[in-house]
Amino acid sequence: MDMIPAWVNGTLTPVEKLEVHRKGLRHRAVSVFVMRGTSVLIQQRAASKYHTPGLWANTCCTHPLWDESPAACATRRLREELGITGLHPVARDRVEYRADVGGGLIEHEVVDLFLAEVMGDLTVIPNPAEVQAVRWVDLYDLTAEAARWPDRFTPWLRIYLAEHSDRIFGALARV
């Protein structure tokens, strides 16, 4: 049972992950974007995920464990979800959002955003329990795709692109 940091009556408390989403509790999260130039690596969530299965999301996202730092969490999930090692994501910002993710579940996250830049090839070995596909896409094209076909993308990725692009991608968001 995964216990994640959530605020209950104003106090950060370990709460079981599914309970957090059923109750829509405000909780900590981490999102990572791996970039190669102006292209971002995105993932299609596995069909077996308990919410938003089959939708495209940023490179990886998760909830830190109760006693885990956001930076350690970002590195861990790159390895666990995508088999990516040797990258050191850099903290970009922190944002908060609330979104209905279907099935009576709510994401109300305080998200530490991370960016990792790669040059050349990157070995990606998706964990089939987490990810069914990956692809590189130009940031401009991704933003246009998410606006045109929002039902193909997770609510949080749409929010990041529409409301927080400058905070995540900096000058790349204005290219």
Catalytic residue numbers read 61, 109
Closest C-alpha to 153, from 65, 73, 40, 77: 40
Non-local CB neighbours of 151 within 8 Å, separated by 6+ positions = none
CB atoms within 10 A of CB 59: 27
Which tokens hold the place of 17?
Answer: 């992950």
Q: What are phi and psi of 139, to 5 degrees?
A: -55, -45
